[in-house]
Amino acid sequence: MSEKFDLAKWLGDSTEKVNRSLDFYLPPEDQKPIVLHKAMRYSVFAGGKRVRPAILLAAAEACGGNAEPALPLACAIECIHTYSLIHDDLPAMDNDDFRRGRPTSHKVFGEGIAILAGDGLLTEAFAIASRWDAVERYSHKNITAELAYHSGSLQMVGGQAIDLESEGKAISLEELKYIHERKTSALLCLSTRLGAMSANATPERLEALTVFGYKVGLAFQIIDDILDITQSTEKLGKTAGKDVQEQKATYPALLGLEKSKTLAAELTQEAFSSLDIFEGKAVALSALAQYLLKRDH
């Protein structure tokens, strides 16, 4: 079954649905304040691969749900992801001038508007999520709490704070894991969980998908660290060895290359094992994880 699944087609379909919904939910560019709405849309429609919405929709499918009712939640997560990139790119944070080959928000609109565009998108995420229709097991109270927890000071924003604090310092493996869990796993867990909740998943399935999101996220980050030192710049499409140059803490630097590879393989294996209870119905989710984790660039 899994052999015949056409991930490219599935991803194309889901991306189209998510893009159409984002365009529908976000205030139009010609609505006042025009510069703010332009800035919000500039970053949302900057060529993102919609990985988190895809994972959310695939998790909903695995639990027997459909994409349509889950779209407000998929768009909410993409707004949160996008706001976090806008704020992370600011001079006071990572100070990045380019993202995906385009100038970052503050380079185009100025720092003030970039900060407000991020604030606007974070707020809009909750507005869009409020348009979701509740299901028997999960209410709006649950959904709002989920969104706020995984993207808040104990998870995503917290990871960014520790990352910022760690700049230029030697950090422990434990600290690095803390950052990776929060900067990557948090929103992946949120994606699988909201997908499951939108499909009225049983608590067992919700738990299995939480483990899946967490392990895929951590494995993804470790593989990213490994590829940075093992692959050429040409193959990566970005400057290879950047982490080493910047003396950035990475799994290979702290744990060694071989142990890092073993750990990534173990996490990947555990992630796939957590899907066993879906008895072959988590086809899209499994294919997506393969795509994210079995890469060499």
Which stretches of the chain bind its own copies, using CB under 8 A? 27, 31-33, 35-37, 40, 83, 87, 90, 92-93, 110-116, 118-120, 122-124, 126-127, 129-131, 134, 139-141, 144-145, 147-149, 151-154, 157-158, 160-162, 164-165, 178
**E-assigned strands of 36-156?**
98-99, 102-103
List b or e across 118-134, with b for residues whose CB sees 16 or more CB atoms inside 10 angstroms.
Answer: bebbbebbbebbeebee
- Least distance to its own copies, CB of residue 81, Å: 13
The nearer residue to its own copies, 87 or 99, going by C-beta atoms, is 87
98 DSSP β-pair partners: 103
| Consecutive H or E run containing 72 | helix 67-89
The nearer residue to its own copies, 129 or 285, going by C-beta atoms, is 129
- Least distance to its own copies, CB of residue 46, Å: 18
- Distances from the Cα of 212 to the Cα of 151, 154, 178, angstroms: 18, 20, 17
Query: How many residues would you count in the chain?
Result: 297
The nearer residue to its own copies, 93 or 263, going by C-beta atoms, is 93
- Least distance to its own copies, CB of residue 134, Å: 7
Q: What is the pairing mode between strands 98-99 and 102-103?
A: antiparallel
- Least distance to its own copies, CB of residue 218, Å: 18
- Least distance to its own copies, CB of residue 41, Å: 11
| Residue 20 structure tokens | 């159409």
- For residues 260 and 272, the answer to whether their CB atoms sit within 8 Å is no
The nearer residue to its own copies, 197 or 292, going by C-beta atoms, is 197
- Least distance to its own copies, CB of residue 224, Å: 22
- Distances from the Cα of 251 to the Cα of 3, 96, 155, 166, 219, angstroms: 32, 23, 20, 15, 11
| Residue 295 structure tokens | 């890469």
The nearer residue to its own copies, 162 or 236, going by C-beta atoms, is 162
The nearer residue to its own copies, 115 or 289, going by C-beta atoms, is 115
